[in-house]
Amino acid sequence: MEEIKVKVNDEHKDRLFKHLFGSNEHRQWTLELYNAVNGSDYTNPEDITITTVEDALYLSMKNDVSFLIADTMSFYEHQSTYNPNMPVRMLMYAGMVYSRFIETNEIYVYGSTLKSLPVPKLVTFYNGTRDTDDRIVLRLSDSFPAGSVPDIEISVLMLNINYGRNSELQHRCRPLMDYSQFVESVRELRGRGYDMEDAVHIAIRRLEEDSPIRGYLLSKEAEVYRLCITEYDEKKDRELFRKDCLEEGRAEGVAMGADRLGRLMSALKEAGRVDDAFKAAEDSSYREQLFKEFGID
């Protein structure tokens, strides 16, 4: 089956994770990552068919990798910030990939015969600074009102791939371990005051000579720098935007005499829950849940 590409958003910016694990050029690394995650032992990279739909969602919903191997359709997403909304994003993305898969393979789903489809496996690789467990299962049902019984459930396995975490997984996939080391080095150097270009230059050369990704990163150093600075700026801008929303929400609460909203925003800020404040600003139902959680009448 040919690679699926649908152009929707010209402003989509790729990430280094996608270049390493989501391209036809590096299907061997994709295969190693798949084997490490699933405990399988496939050996032929040609068994992989990349099914990524480029720029499938909106500007804030970047999709990284999907691919087919045997009877499994894997969806891999990289996140540098903790995002409990991955199940709904995966639901939207998987719907588009399966729709295209059915169309491309001329599978008739309106008849009386049950059709066979690839098994979906949804994984998020997390390497942000927020401390999380090595493995977390995120569920779509957590987004619904408490006590409800939804007819749709989506489960996403979130794996912490910060350097030194999920060590067994990383040792089974050397490219992933070296990628994690590279990211950790860039983060450490940036924290010591190095600019991004120098941090990338040094971090690449810290990798062992036999690293499977070292040669590629060296040959594409300018591109790696661009990818890193883009992701760093996106993350910084996103956090600043959320903090601005938080401050605006507090100010609006005071200006309107809405002491209840102001107290909620203050409580969320003190708890360091900027993501929840951002969501509360847009979702009235979630806002009511938070009022109850914090005991704000």
State pLDDT tens for residues 2-14: 444 333 333 334 5
CA 289 – CA 140 distance, rounded (Å): 17
Map tokens 């847009």 to a residue: 282
Q: Which helix (H) or strand (E) holds 240?
A: helix 221-255
Instruction: Name the DSSP letter for residue 118.
Output: P
Q: For residue 8, what pLDDT is reported?
A: 31
Instruction: Name the DSSP letter for residue 49.
Output: E
CA 19 – CA 238 distance, rounded (Å): 22
Q: Which pTM does this prediction carry?
A: 0.73
Enumerate residues 6+ apart whose C-beta is below 8 A from 159.
37, 123, 124, 125, 126, 134, 135, 166, 169
Q: Which helix (H) or strand (E) holds 76?
A: strand 72-79
Query: Parallel, antiparallel, or unpaired for β 155-160 and 135-139?
Result: antiparallel
Closest CA to 221 of 188, 199, 192: 199
Altogether, the residues listed in the chain come to a count of: 297
Cβ distance 91 to 123 under 8 Å? no
Amino acid at 19: H
Instruction: Name the DSSP letter for residue 283.
Output: -
Q: For residue 296, what pLDDT is reported?
A: 86
pLDDT in tens, 179-233: 999 999 999 998 899 888 999 999 999 999 999 999 999 999 999 988 887 666 5
Q: For residue 275, what pLDDT is reported?
A: 65
Map tokens 């996106």 to a residue: 234
CB atoms within 10 A of CB 11: 6
CA angle centred on 265, ends 261 and 270, rounded to 5°: 150
Closest CA to 124 of 77, 164, 63, 169: 77
Beta bridge partners of residue 293, listed in sequence order = none
CA 233 – CA 213 distance, rounded (Å): 24
Amino acid at 70: A
Q: For residue 261, what pLDDT is reported?
A: 77
Map tokens 């969320």 to a residue: 268
CA 184 – CA 173 distance, rounded (Å): 17
Residues of the chain with pLDDT under 50: 1-13, 56-61, 237, 240-241, 250, 253-257
Q: For residue 15, what pLDDT is reported?
A: 79
Q: Which pair of tokens denotes residue 221?
A: 């150093």
SS3 readout for 162-183: CCCCCHHHHHHCHHHHHHHHHH
Alpha helices for 256-283 (secondary structure H): 259-270, 274-282
